Amino acid sequence: MIYLDNSATTSPYKEVLDSFYKVSQGFFANPSSIHYLGGEVEQLLTKAKEQAASLLNVLPKELIFTSGGTESNNLAIKGIALQHQNRGKHIITTQIEHPSVLEACRSLEQFGFDVTYLSVDIEGKVSPEQVKAAIREDTILISIMHVNNEIGTIQPIEEIAAISQQYPKLFFHVDHVQGLGKVPLHLAHEGIDLCSMSSHKIHGLKGTGLLYIKRGTSLYPLVHGGGQQEEIRPGTENVSGIVAMVKALRLTFDNQKNKIDEISKLSRSIRECLAADSRIYINSPKTGAPHIINISVPGYKPEVVIHALGKKDIFISTKSACSSKHSDESAVLAACGLEQSRTMHGFRISLSFYNTEEEINQFCRTFLEVLDELSDVMGR
Amino acid sequence: MEFDHIIIRYGEMALKGKNKKQFILQLKKNLKQKFTSFSNLHVIRSRDQMYIKLNGEDHEKVIEKCQEVFGIQSMNVAMKVENDVDKIKEGALYALREAKNAKTFKVTTKRPNKQFPIGSQEMNQVLGGHLLSNTDQYTVNVRNPDVEIRVEIRQDATYIMSGKIQGLGGLPVGTTGNTLLLLSGGIDSPVAGYLALKRGVKVEAIHFHSPPFTSERAKQKVLDLAHTLTKYGHQLKVHIVPFTELQQKIFREIPEGYGMTVMRRMMLRVSERLAEREGILSLTTGESLGQVASQTMESMNVINEVTNYPIIRPLVTMDKLDIIDISREIGTYEISIRPYEDCCTVFVPKQPKTKPRKEKIHQFEDPIDFTPDIEKILENVETVTISEKSPRKELFEDLL
């Protein structure tokens, strides 16, 4: 099997599964129970949070565990909007955010919020000047992703953070789900107030995510309950999932240190090989994240190509899995201003630390073969 | 090019006379216990300093460990190079670059080897010039540099040292006898234990446990505190004393205002008996004058009456805030503030006597025979030995 759909989800590390099992079995007590068993689990949870904080270079109390990237994004956006609506009701985001950001913003429009969806250039980039120009007296939140999930564009987070810092009423949220472990981001950087992360994108398990909330930032909780996690995200903690995520984070950061160059190398060879074929357009910018390569093959129906590759045990995706259920067009590619022949025929190849050069060579060869096989029916 | 050894300078023990060797041997032993994870290190002692040959181990990690050992005043990382100007230049540049936070530097050359062709003054200029022209972020400051690069040109080779790194000071643990620390779950007693360790005392702990009035979590808290202290004391025995029955008896038999005073006296009695049994020569407490009702001069006078053992009170004249500072530094604060009841808080009377009177104490205490209770407690002490690498910690590390 050649798995190249790592931006949809990754296969869990073996060590992570082991921890998940051991914690589920041996530390099943409720961390809020006052008996000894509960105390032990509470300690484990504390330890896990401390380790996550030290890996991310933030304070333990600045981290809230959630059910995943979608919840983290919703909690950040709605939490800030509800808590600070008296200051203003304007939110700035971009047209190419993940649906959990875009839909959260749209839902707020029903409650009288005004949202600016910034356009992006052909590479999917938003400029700091655009952000600055969009800021109004009543703007309370900017939400911009670090790495785009479909094409891998890296947004100028540092510059935008510097701008948002000049406006004390403004909070800055970064969706770091795709960037985590691949493109470094300094959370403690002045100006980033909130940051979303997800476990299953870094070889952890589905059902756990993180939201960094800078000290002193107040949020209105989306759910109410028994006071766990600073009352921001109550509910009995998903201890096994949390421990698994923290372990995945540690292993991923180790890999990032040692293996990120390998991913960049694989990414370059995919680009070189596919760009040499006149049927294929590369959509991902060269300056983008190393693990995401988005291409278009005009005339070829993506679904058919995906299935043909699947038969040969090779797995890539069309656009992001989270929006594949809707229309055929990639909203991200459309926002980049590409014509329909490209936006309707996009593919995403996404890499992990597990992929090898051999796999990549085989993928490129097979991909071109599949195009050849289908060319009678679909070629232009 | 890399640092190949660390030079360790002794603290106060350098001033010792004929028994100095014992101190040095103990320090070497304590260091070796810290170094179990570095298989290549070689420790060489001499009368005035100790050398650690790194043999490829990471000097920063070794230094970190050394900074948890009492008896070390300061350390230098150093390297040995040939008596060759280019090699010395290269070494000095490496040493400067390794001094991460420094902005200013100075070079000090000594030349005991007079055959070396360049004088020490000239050598300072040659090296200083080389460092300046090969770096951007540093300037020279001869009066008060952030880092001093010291170069010693000897017969066999040249030694290059940088930045003095502070050690913890104090005396090597195990050189000045032993003590039984009364360890509660609070902020003070672990700090008292730390300071006793700093004076070279080997510490064992006694904890008064009153289930079900105090929980397993309170006990675990004490074990965690003890575990934190093992960082400085390598191994710590914790004697857990079942205190419930005696405490209930005091509660029943002694008028409320004096209950706390009598309880303290009982704690000292039990501690003294345990110390005697274990061959321990002193008691240590976290008492600080005037902090709570049991720590007024009157209370301390009355409570102290029950024992002839020396009681070490490292915190007795310290301000609470200073105590908190130390507890944060040594990592016990976060554990101490966990909110579980300990045995002192459950039975505390609403209005404890701050000025208990001796004759009153005797009037209440003398008619009651507490001896059987104390004997029973001593028979049921649970002793836990905690070492720096506890299985519990390893389990968590394994999971995470």
pLDDT tens per residue, range B24-38:
999 999 999 999 888
C-alpha to C-alpha distance for A246 and A47, rounded to whole angstroms? 10
Picking from A248, A241, A295, the residue whose alpha carbon sits closest to that of residue A267 is A295
- Cβ of A19 and B220 within 8 Å? no
The answer to whether B328 faces chain A, any CB pair under 8 Å, is: no
> In the numeric block, which tokens belong to residue A350?
């996404």
Residue of A15, A25, A47, A240 to mutate, interface with B, max B Cβ within 10 Å: A47
- Cβ of B399 and A250 within 8 Å? no
Strands (DSSP E) found in chain A: 2-3, 63-66, 90-94, 114-118, 139-145, 171-175, 194-198, 209-213, 281-282, 292-296, 314-315, 346-350
**B38 in a labelled binding site:** no
Domain identity same for A102 and A245 = yes
Domain identity same for A244 and A299 = no
The answer to whether B339 faces chain A, any CB pair under 8 Å, is: no
- Cβ of B217 and A34 within 8 Å? yes
Contacts of the segment B293-298: beta carbons below 8 A, 24+ positions apart:
B293/B260, B293/B352, B293/B353, B293/B354, B294/B260, B294/B261, B294/B264, B294/B352, B296/B354, B296/B355, B298/B354, B298/B355, B298/B356, B298/B357
The answer to whether A242 faces chain B, any CB pair under 8 Å, is: no
Work out how many domains chain A is built from and give that number. Answer: 2
CATH fold of B178-387 reads Rossmann fold (3.40.50)
* Chosen domain end from A250, A278, A302: A250
- Give residue B130's pLDDT: 94
Alpha helices in chain B (DSSP H): 20-34, 59-66, 85-98, 120-134, 188-198, 216-233, 244-253, 256-278, 297-304, 320-330, 333-336, 343-346, 358-365, 371-379, 391-399
* Chosen domain end from A230, A250, A270: A250
- Give residue A320's pLDDT: 56
Domain identity same for A179 and A290 = no
Domain identity same for A66 and A153 = yes
What is the residue range of A143's domain?
14-250
- Give residue A158's pLDDT: 94
- Cβ of B399 and A39 within 8 Å? no
Domain identity same for A18 and A138 = yes
Sequence-distant (≥ 6) Cβ neighbours of residue B26 within 8 angstroms: B71, B172, B173, B174, B175, B200
Domain identity same for A26 and A79 = yes
C-alpha to C-alpha distance for B200 and B173, rounded to whole angstroms? 4
Domain identity same for A43 and A132 = yes
- Cβ of A48 and B216 within 8 Å? no
* Chosen domain end from A202, A231, A250: A250
Domain identity same for A290 and A313 = yes
Residue of A24, A27, A40 to mutate, interface with B, max B Cβ within 10 Å: A40
Can you state the angle between helices B358-365 and B256-278, rounded to 10 degrees? 80
The answer to whether A22 faces chain B, any CB pair under 8 Å, is: yes
Query: Which helix (DSSP H) or strand (DSSP E) does residue A252 occupy?
Result: helix A239-275
Query: Which helix (DSSP H) or strand (DSSP E) does residue B40 occupy?
Result: none
- Cβ of A44 and B396 within 8 Å? yes
- Give residue B348's pLDDT: 72
Other CB atoms closer than 10 Å to residue A286's CB: what's the count?
A: 9
**Given the DSSP bridges, would you call strands B283-284 and B178-182 parallel, antiparallel or unpaired?**
parallel
- Give residue B378's pLDDT: 96
Domain identity same for A212 and A288 = no
Q: Which CATH number fits domain B5-166: 3.30.2130.30, 3.30.2350.10, 3.30.110.30, 3.40.50.2300?
A: 3.30.2130.30
- Give residue B341's pLDDT: 65
- Give residue B334's pLDDT: 85
The answer to whether B399 faces chain A, any CB pair under 8 Å, is: yes
Domain identity same for A242 and A276 = no
Q: Look at residue A142 and give its three-state secondary structure.
A: strand
The answer to whether A247 faces chain B, any CB pair under 8 Å, is: yes
A355: CATH: 3.90.1150.10
Q: Mind listing the pLDDT tens digit of every residue in chain A (380 residues)?
A: 999 999 999 999 999 999 999 999 999 999 998 887 888 899 899 999 999 999 999 999 999 999 999 999 999 999 999 999 999 999 999 999 999 999 999 999 999 999 999 999 999 999 999 999 999 999 999 999 999 999 999 999 999 999 999 998 899 999 999 999 999 999 987 789 999 999 999 999 999 999 999 999 999 999 999 999 999 999 999 999 999 999 999 999 999 988 999 999 999 999 999 999 999 999 999 999 999 999 999 999 899 999 999 999 999 998 755 554 556 789 999 999 999 889 999 999 999 999 999 999 999 999 999 999 998 887 65
| Maximum C-alpha span of chain B | 89
In chain B, what residues touch A43 (CB-CB under 8 Å)?
220, 396
Intervals of chain B under pLDDT 70: 341-346, 391-393
Picking from A309, A290, A301, the residue whose alpha carbon sits closest to that of residue A346 is A301
Q: Look at residue B284 and give its three-state secondary structure.
A: strand
- Give residue A129's pLDDT: 97
The segment(s) of chain B belonging to CATH 3.30.2130.30 are 5-166
Q: Which among A34, A36, A243 is the nearest to B399, CB-wise?
A: A243
b/e string for B96-127 if b means 16 or more Cβ within 10 A? Answer: bbbbeebeebbbbbebeeeebebebeebbebb
Positions of A marked active-site: 322
Q: Which among B215, B217, B400 is the nearest to A243, CB-wise?
A: B400
Q: Which among B215, B217, B399 is the nearest to A44, CB-wise?
A: B399
Sequence-distant (≥ 6) Cβ neighbours of residue B117 within 8 angstroms: none
CA A101 to chain centre: 11
The segment(s) of chain B belonging to CATH 3.40.50.620 are 178-387
Q: Which among B216, B399, B400 is the nearest to A39, CB-wise?
A: B216
**Cα distance between the two ends of chain B:** 35
- Cβ of B220 and A39 within 8 Å? yes
Domain identity same for A205 and A233 = yes
- Which B-chain residues 105-144 have CB contacts (< 8 A) with chain A? none
Domain identity same for A104 and A164 = yes
Tell me the helices (H) and strands (E) count for chain A, helix number first. 11, 12
b/e string for B280-311 if b means 16 or more Cβ within 10 A? Answer: bebbbbbbbeebbbbbbeebbebbbebbebeb
**B239 in a labelled binding site:** no
- Cβ of A47 and B215 within 8 Å? no
A104: CATH: 3.40.640.10
Other CB atoms closer than 10 Å to residue B226's CB: what's the count?
A: 28
